[in-house]
Amino acid sequence: MTEIATQFGIQEALKTLGLTATNDGTSTGSNNFGSGDPIASHSPVDGTLIAQVKTTTQADYDKVIGVASDAFLAWRKVPAPQRGEMVRQFGERLREVKESLGKLVSYEMGKSYQEGLGEVQEMIDICDFAVGLSRQLHGLTMHSERPGHRMYEQYHPLGIVGIISAFNFPVAVWAWNTALAWIAGDVCVWKPSEKTPLCGVACQNIIAGVLKENKLPEGISCLINGDYKVGEMMTQDKRIPLVSATGSIRMGKIVAQAVAARLGKSLLELGGNNAIIVTPDADIKMTVIGAVFGAVGTAGQRCTSTRRLIVHESVYDQVKQALMDAYQQIRIGNPLDENNHVGPLIDSDAVAMYQASLEKVVAEGGTVLIEGEVLSGAGYESGCYVKPAIVEANNSYETVQEETFAPILYLLKYSGGLENAIAQQNGVVQGLSSAIMTNNLREAELFLSTAGSDCGIANVNIGTSGAEIGGAFGGEKETGGGRESGSDAWKIYMRRQTNTINYTTELPLAQGIKFNL
């Protein structure tokens, strides 16, 4: 272990989570059943090899699906409130290991320790939500046009839910899906990102213990590891009625086509190109706090990260200066050190994308306000630390139209009425999160109206980044249209059935049709 890992208790955290490593770095986590070539997990914090995790072969995959299929036959018969009790125990176990799992998230992914703890808290919160929901999986009753008939609808579990998650939220997004799927009566097969495989093994260890203690089938929660080829096994498998995939738009289109080709269902949470509109009536102090956290939190690697700041010309210079002053105060470094604001990007590929985006936007005519650079020297040995940048740009630039998964904020100007700002905000293919900063009630209501934001999330006087589990999370347009977490998102994990009961001795037909024998 490196000095950072020792100082911040990473070895102890791994042990708490049931993870150990051999001298060659191979993980010996108790639920690592793959027999394929190993994938290495290097920490972007200090570049060290944490461990290696064996990948899933086709034979391994078929075995996992068989175990999951058998488990579903038993799990679907367990009453939903009892399924909720299992999820409650899982949430309690997460509370016990919150600090350790938060450290692993921070060390393997690179987000700040506070954000790592927050991600585990999201897991706990969705468990609490799911426990209550397990007693509220309700349908509707309706009046029949036929006398002596009763109509109602109910929801049944789907079967196996396949979950493909991204590196930036290596544990929370899985929990959003699996907690709801479990109380719905489904079983889950999870392919975590190949960039954060240890987080997946840790979570599997936790839930495996809960299942064992309750004498429940281990196939209720299954883990597979590997690259896109393992994901393809899942998307093309008719035994998986629903695939929930989080990632890039490019990836989502591939998943959607593969699943649709077999008439399966897909839940897609894809890219965001999120904007904050700043009107003349905005509170500038609040605006700067929201914009800076949205732009640099998780080193700009959130799907809800603030990419664009659309500012009215009358307050443009004031906002611009306040932002530049705020960026001078950002501390970049080891994310386990809570004195720092920004940690590293996930890997060298992300660094290269960051550099290429800055070069491209300048070539298109952008003006750099805060220079971006790759940091080196003591504390930055991994090569994954970069300086958050601000660029004055135009919404029409190709670079601005794309999602740059890095801490680059594009500063845009608008003139005239709010409609012009909304047109800029909506003028991208993504539609995840949006926000407006204003103390003007009319502006706020216009932004939230049919003529306002076209995103799945629209906020007033808070930033684009961060979401509570009580609300359905997801976006429109090329963000995929999926909804996870709160509200009635549970319905995607179940199949709807309409029932009609005739309690008479007659058999009248609907629409008054006569058919006599």
Residue 347: both structure tokens together: 């890997």
Q: Please classify residue 369 by burial: count the beta carbons closer than 10 Å to its beta carbon, then call 0-12 exposed, 13-18 middle and 19+ buried.
A: middle
Half-sphere exposure of 282 (CA within 13 A, CB side): 31
Active site residue 303: yes
Alpha-carbon 333 to chain mean position = 24
Residue 432: both structure tokens together: 């995840």
SS3 per residue for 83-125: HHHHHHHHHHHHHHCHHHHHHHHHHHHCCCHHHHHHHHHHHHH
Given a contact cutoff of 8 angstroms between Cβ atoms, the answer to whether 493 and 241 are in contact is no
Q: In Å, how far are 356, 357, 374, 393 from 363, measured between CA atoms?
A: 11, 10, 19, 11
Q: In Å, how far are 101, 128, 234, 487, 489 from 186, measured between CA atoms?
A: 25, 18, 16, 19, 14
Amino acid identity at 158: L
- Specify the pairing of strand 472-473 against strand 484-485: antiparallel
User: Angle of helix 113-133 relative to helix 80-96, nearest 10 degrees?
Assistant: 160
Annotated catalytic residue within 303, 443, 455, 484: 303
CA 487 – CA 267 distance, rounded (Å): 15
Residue 138: both structure tokens together: 């309700």
Active site residue 199: no
Using alpha carbons only, what angle is made at residue 392 by residues 390 and 393, rounded to the nearest 5 degrees? Answer: 120
CA 234 – CA 305 distance, rounded (Å): 29
Annotated catalytic residue within 269, 403, 478, 484: 269
Given a contact cutoff of 8 angstroms between Cβ atoms, the answer to whether 341 and 299 are in contact is no
Residues noted as catalytic: 269, 303
